[in-house]
Amino acid sequence: MTGTIVQINVSPGGIPKRPVAKAEVTPEGIRGDCWAHPQIHGGPKQALLLITSEGIQELIAQGYPLYAGALGENLTVAGLDRREMRIGQRYRAGEVLIELTKIRSPCATLDVFGPAIKQAVYDAQVNAGDVSSPRWGLSGFYARVLRAGVVRPRDIIQLVDQVV
């Protein structure tokens, strides 16, 4: 599976995250990015949040006023099939190597787009780890950083292997 980084997003805390021209990625996340609730977000297993631009487009088609960065993702990516993304997959993104660690469970912060958005992106099947859910991956994937480096928009993001 190969795609591209459409946009890299950061914020001083909360959503939306805004685009930057490039980012230095460390094991703690993108340098300069912060979380409104660090007791919930961030940390080594949640250093980055990835969301597919195709998933954002699906939600826009359902009437949600979204755009890249609106859901708080650090990396908006295109060309990766969210339905095929799995916890434990490792991706090379620019100079960086990351591993998907968990699916993002949406919180009340997203209610700014309407309280129904949480149900639009996440259901009981997703919560149970059932990849057959039509909502699988719409909420995004958290990732740990295995190799730090720089990422830029238009960099390739490619699946390199799967941790068993």
pLDDT tens string 100-151? 999 999 988 999 999 899 999 999 999 999 999 999 999 999 999 999 999 9
H-only helix segments in the chain: 53-61, 117-121, 124-127
Nearest to 83 by CA among 62, 58, 112: 58
Report the CATH number at residue 152: 2.40.33.20
Q: Cβ of 43: how many Cβ atoms within 10 Å?
A: 16
The CA distance from 75 to 72, in Å, is: 9
Q: What is the extent of the structural domain holding 111?
A: 2-162
Q: Please tell me the total count of domains within the chain.
A: 1
Query: Mean of the pLDDT values across residues 4-14?
Result: 95
Query: Mean of the pLDDT values across residues 156-163?
Result: 93
- Evaluate if pTM is beyond 0.85: yes
Answer positive or negative: Cα dihedral of 78, 39, 26, 16. positive
Answer positive or negative: Cα dihedral of 161, 47, 145, 152. positive
